[in-house]
Amino acid sequence: MSTGHVLGVDLAELWDAGQNHLPIVAGEFTQAVNALPTSITGIMYRSGGVGAGDHSYGSAPAWGELAATLAGHLSTTADNLMDTGAALVHAANNYAGTDAEARAELERRKLEIGTVR
């Protein structure tokens, strides 16, 4: 079992994963879902019922349903990543317990690593 300095290094890595790396990934999924339109009814209107699907909006509702499903997957993925990240940060901050050397190494490394966002 790791202690002291070595433990501090491990905790710092865990902290980095939760504080920075997972949120970076979450941020990309958030960008992905923000870029994804979930409705195209605005551009699909036709006045005479020409086409298939909805009389006025054709394939727009079917498209929107699939888009909304994907948007849900992407935003849930982002949320799960952020929550997991918070858990790792908590673990890192609390795991050292009474190991003062580990705690000192962790705090020193946290300052070096910083926070990406």
Give me the residues that bind another protein (CB under 8 A), please. 1-2, 6-7, 10, 13-14, 16-18, 20-22, 24-25, 27-29, 31-33, 35-37, 40, 43-53, 58-59, 62-63, 65-67, 69-70, 72-74, 76-77, 79-80, 83-84, 86-88, 90-91, 95
Indicate the DSSP class of residue 48.
Answer: T
Say how many C-beta atoms besides its own lie within 10 A of residue 42's C-beta. Answer: 9
| Residue 94, burial from CB neighbour count under 10 angstroms (0-12, 13-18, 19+) | exposed
**Can you list the positions of beta strands (E) in the chain?**
none
Give min distance, CB of 33 to another protein, in A: 7
For another protein, the closer of residues 93 and 104 by Cβ is 93
Say how many C-beta atoms besides its own lie within 10 A of residue 22's C-beta. Answer: 21
Give min distance, CB of 78 to another protein, in A: 11
